[in-house]
């Protein structure tokens, strides 16, 4: 049995959110005392340029694992090509009541209804300023739960202005199912209003700072097919550089009869792979080629990640697969993608 499987066996004996915190603290300690070098394999080198950014490889960790930027050095030290932190909101918020995180080991899945629990954007910025790891860092921004959708743009603008100088790219999260009304912002009218205001402010920030930070929009896997082309047109119109497909799903069909299957929240892990891939495929068809795609959702192996590359993803991200498979998944994915790159678009 691998070292990580032994550790996971212990972590899975305690409540999921407690295990999450314990695992990150353990990883931080291991990184601080230099254990990483013999615990994990280094991923294959696969340099690429996406969104105008140079990445050492195509494998990243998705937002949600490190919401506050407290574990940047530890997670970055695993050899990822990039790391995304957040979702962060202007004001700190505690999120939804516990329990709010549920394991479904039979399906290698997780249901969460965390609700954007985070320490606020000012804390995240302080953590980013202290980081030693200098890899590619994305920052995922959202709105506070008590901010009505009519004023949502104000929350996104606050976060944008505070993180702009510290992010290699910024993600506009409009697709979490755990903040009431957030997914309504995916409607074209509201989406256009939000993106146009953010892009306008970005142009001003570009002049102030002397550099342009790329934007990515994170979408849901539960979109109706006929809504995707209008969304893609809106994203292109507002000069967005990338789309992340996808966030968690509210669909429970594949979990029938399992413990926790009816818990409210977003489902991630292996059952998400098909719908996330369908959304990825649809957006690749609907978007101009210059707009990049980041594939996430359901990646539990190198083969899963390669499938996303074959559907048009320029980069891939893991979260639930990282929890079930451990840090070795990063090297497995990088190896699979690198070994197959001769038959894939090299952009």
Within 10 angstroms of residue 265's Cβ, the number of other Cβ atoms is: 21
Residue 284 lies inside a defined structural domain of this protein? yes
* Number of domains the chain contains: 1
- Confidence band (pLDDT; 50, 70, 90) for 36? low
Q: What is the model's pLDDT at position 35?
A: 72
Supply the DSSP string of 260-289, one letter for each residue: TTT-SSEEEEGGGHHHHHHHHHHHHHHS-T
Domain annotation covers residue 253: yes
Q: Is the pLDDT of residue 32 over 50?
A: yes
Q: Does residue 347 belong to any structural domain of this protein?
A: no
Q: Is the pLDDT reported for residue 339 higher than 90?
A: no
* Sequence-ordered list of residues with C-beta below 8 angstroms from that of 125, at least 6 positions apart, any chain: 69, 162, 163, 166
Q: Do the bridges between strand 266-269 and strand 109-112 make them parallel or antiparallel, or are there none, so unpaired?
A: antiparallel
pLDDT at 347 exceeding the cut of 70: no
Q: pLDDT tens digits for 63-79?
A: 999 999 999 999 999 99
- Name the packing angle between helices 121-130 and 152-163 (round to 10°): 20
What is the CATH number for 210?
3.20.20.70
pLDDT of residue 257: 83
pLDDT mean over 190-210:
98
Does the residue 125 lie in any domain? yes
Nearest alpha carbon to residue 227 among 265, 194, 184: 184
The pLDDT of residue 165 is above 80: yes
Give the least confident one: 33-42, 54-63, 154-163, 307-316: 33-42
| pLDDT interval class at 342 (50, 70, 90) | very low
Q: Which residues pair with 241 in a beta bridge?
A: none
Cα 121 to chain centroid distance, Å, stands at 17
For the question of residue 26 being annotated catalytic, the response is no
**Pair of tokens at residue 171:** 């993600």
CA-to-CA separations, 123 to 63, 68, 139, 151, 191, in angstroms, rounded = 16, 7, 13, 23, 28
- Taking the C-alpha atoms of residue 93 and residue 70, their distance in angstroms, rounded to an integer, is 16
144 occurs within a structural domain:
yes
Whether 86 is in a domain gets the answer yes
87-133 per-position pLDDT tens digit: 999 999 999 999 999 999 999 999 999 999 999 999 999 999 999 99
pLDDT of residue 40: 64
182 in a domain, yes or no? yes
180 found inside a domain: yes
Residue 345 confidence (pLDDT): 53
Write down the catalytic residue from 176, 268, 275, 282.
176
pLDDT in tens, 216-250: 999 999 999 999 999 999 999 999 999 999 999 99
- Is residue 138 within 8 A of residue 85, CB to CB? The reply is yes
pTM: 0.96
Band of residue 34 on the pLDDT scale cut at 50, 70, 90:
confident
Which range among 147-156, 275-284, 336-345 shows the weakest confidence by mean pLDDT?
336-345
Q: At residue 23, what are phi and psi to the nearest 5 degrees?
A: -65, -45
pLDDT tens-digit readout, 185-196: 999 999 999 999
Residues of the domain holding 304: 3-340
DSSP code per residue over 162-202: HHGGG-SEEEEE---TTSTTGGGGGSHHHHHHHHHHHHHHH
């Amino acid at each position: 049995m691998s070292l990580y499987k032994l550790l996971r066996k212990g972590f899975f004996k305690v409540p999921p959110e407690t295990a999450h915190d314990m695992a990150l603290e353990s990883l931080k300690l291991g990184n601080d005392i230099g254990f990483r070098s013999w615990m994990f394999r280094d991923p294959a080198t696969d340099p690429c340029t996406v969104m105008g950014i140079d990445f050492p490889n195509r494998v990243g960790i998705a937002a949600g694992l490190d919401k506050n930027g407290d574990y940047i050095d530890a997670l970055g030290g695993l050899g990822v090509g990039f790391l995304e932190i957040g979702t962060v909101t202007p004001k700190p918020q505690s999120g939804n009541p516990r329990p709010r995180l549920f394991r479904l080991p039979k399906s290698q899945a997780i249901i969460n209804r965390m609700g954007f629990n985070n320490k606020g954007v000012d804390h995240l910025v302080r953590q980013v300023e202290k980081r030693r790891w200098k890899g590619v860092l994305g920052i995922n921004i959202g709105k506070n739960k008590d901010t009505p959708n009519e004023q949502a743009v104000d929350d996104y603008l606050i976060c944008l202005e505070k993180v702009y100088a510290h992010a290699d790219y910024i993600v506009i999260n409009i697709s979490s199912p755990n903040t009431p009304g957030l997914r309504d912002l995916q409607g074209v009218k509201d989406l256009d209003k939000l993106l146009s205001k953010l892009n306008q402010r970005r142009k001003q920030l570009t002049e102030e700072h002397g550099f342009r930070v790329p934007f990515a929009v994170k979408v849901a896997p539960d979109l109706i097919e006929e809504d995707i082309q209008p969304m893609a047109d809106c994203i292109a119109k507002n000069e967005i550089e990338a789309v992340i497909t996808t966030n968690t799903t509210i669909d429970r069909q594949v979990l029938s009869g399992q413990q926790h299957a009816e818990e409210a929240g977003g489902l991630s892990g292996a059952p998400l792979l098909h719908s996330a891939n369908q959304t990825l495929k649809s957006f690749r068809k609907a978007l101009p080629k210059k707009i990049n795609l980041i594939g996430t959702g359901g990646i539990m192996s190198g083969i899963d990640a390669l499938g996303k590359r074959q559907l048009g993803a320029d980069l891939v991200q893991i979260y639930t697969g990282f929890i079930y498979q451990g840090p070795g998944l990063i090297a497995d994915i990088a190896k699979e993608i690198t070994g197959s790159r001769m038959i894939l678009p090299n952009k």
